[in-house]
Amino acid sequence: MADAIAATGLTKDYGGGRGILDLDLRVPEGTVFGFLGPNGAGKTTTLRLLMGFLRPDRGGAEVLGHPLGTDRARLHRHIGYIPGELAFPRGERVRTYLDRCARLQGVIDRSRQRELVQRLELPPHLRIRELSKGNRQKVALVQALQHDPDLLILDEPTDGLDPVLRRQVGSLLRRHAADGGTVFLSSHVVHEIETVCDEVAIVVGGRLRSRARVAELLADLPLRLRVAVPARARPAVLAALARHPGSRKQELADGLLRIEVKGDPLPLLRDLADGGARDAHFEDKDLEETFMGLYEQPRPARTGAGGRRD
């Protein structure tokens, strides 16, 4: 499988812990790839470098097989882009703006545009200045998707959207990848990453911290079990937990325990039931704590622009 994005040593160092340093990253075609990190980690800088809006201090990248700095206008016809900060001609009507973007993108058939406008419930007759923040975000989504690009580069693409529309956008991105396109997105919405992305890379302090497949991250998370423990059964239940050193409990209100367990939970469940626990159910796995733990690791020591200290 070819790479839609291939970065080697990509660096833009503003000093003071800002920018991106020595990024080596491959984004395979046909995938939805999440690029995560805390504010100021270098995510937006990376996306602007890949779009050719910034020049790297060193290193480089290929986007759709073309090195950075090649014919940018031609390459952009094959890319759909949403910046982190939207800027529109506010006096223009939505339809006029989208049609003008379509002409620049080489779009002749506007059926895809009409489909997206309808699906996202975007009012095309309004002027952009009359739109809410969520509707302006929909305008950005339509212009990024209407020319069916090979690659989507998206900075917080669902910012300002309600949960229902977030799911709609997630479905659009998954379909885009299923049809052979590639999605490279930055997001702070952990549930969005869980349900949409195939892989994630986490950047902290300008450096790549880790990369993993989302399915593998979820498989490694402990199961979370919630059980009700009557007062009379508490000694037996705690004794049962002690026989399973891979489990960990957390006290909840009203006689409830949350138990984390790795591996096969059935032996523990049998022992808990024998001890008098009741009303057991599993909670959904959640990647948020995993991501937060990675974000909070100590940042690498850095010197001024271009320099580093190990």
pLDDT at 297: 53
The Cα 124–Cα 114 span in angstroms is 9
Structural domain contains residue 269: yes
Do 227 and 256 lie in one domain? The reply is yes
- Closest by CA to 115, choosing from 160, 33, 189, 176, is 176
For residues 277 and 229, the answer to whether their CB atoms sit within 8 Å is yes
* Average pLDDT of every residue of the chain: 88
Domain count, the chain: 2
Instruction: List the domain range (segments joined by +) for residue 276.
Output: 222-283
CATH number reported for the structural domain that contains residue 242 in this entry: 3.30.70.100
The Cα 280–Cα 188 span in angstroms is 32
Do 68 and 155 lie in one domain? The reply is yes
Average of per-residue pLDDT across 269-291: 81
For residues 227 and 256, the answer to whether their CB atoms sit within 8 Å is yes
CATH number reported for the structural domain that contains residue 59 in this entry: 3.40.50.300
Do 160 and 255 lie in one domain? The reply is no
The string of pLDDT tens digits covering residues 188-219 is 777 788 889 999 998 988 999 889 898 887 77
Do 30 and 73 lie in one domain? The reply is yes
pLDDT at 105: 93
Please determine, for residue 186, whether its predicted confidence score (pLDDT) is greater than 60: yes
Do 239 and 181 lie in one domain? The reply is no
For residues 203 and 46, the answer to whether their CB atoms sit within 8 Å is yes
Structural domain contains residue 294: no
Domain boundary among 193, 218, 243: 218
Q: How confident is the model at residue 138 (pLDDT cuts 50, 70, 90)?
A: very high
For the chain, give the percent of residues with pLDDT over 90.
56
**More confidently predicted of 17 and 142:** 142
Domain boundary among 218, 233, 265: 218
Structural domain contains residue 57: yes
Name 56's Cβ contacts closer than 8 Å, sequence gap at least 6: 10, 11, 12, 49, 68
The Cα 310–Cα 294 span in angstroms is 19
What global pTM score does this model have?
Answer: 0.80
**More confidently predicted of 11 and 249:** 11
Do 207 and 228 lie in one domain? The reply is no
Structural domain contains residue 47: yes
- Closest by CA to 171, choosing from 2, 32, 276, is 32
Please determine, for residue 283, whether its predicted confidence score (pLDDT) is greater than 80: no
The string of pLDDT tens digits covering residues 75-123 is 999 999 999 889 899 899 999 999 999 999 999 899 999 999 999 999 9
Do 185 and 275 lie in one domain? The reply is no
Q: Which two tokens stand for residue 214?
A: 């989302």
Do 195 and 233 lie in one domain? The reply is no
Structural domain contains residue 185: yes
Do 34 and 52 lie in one domain? The reply is yes
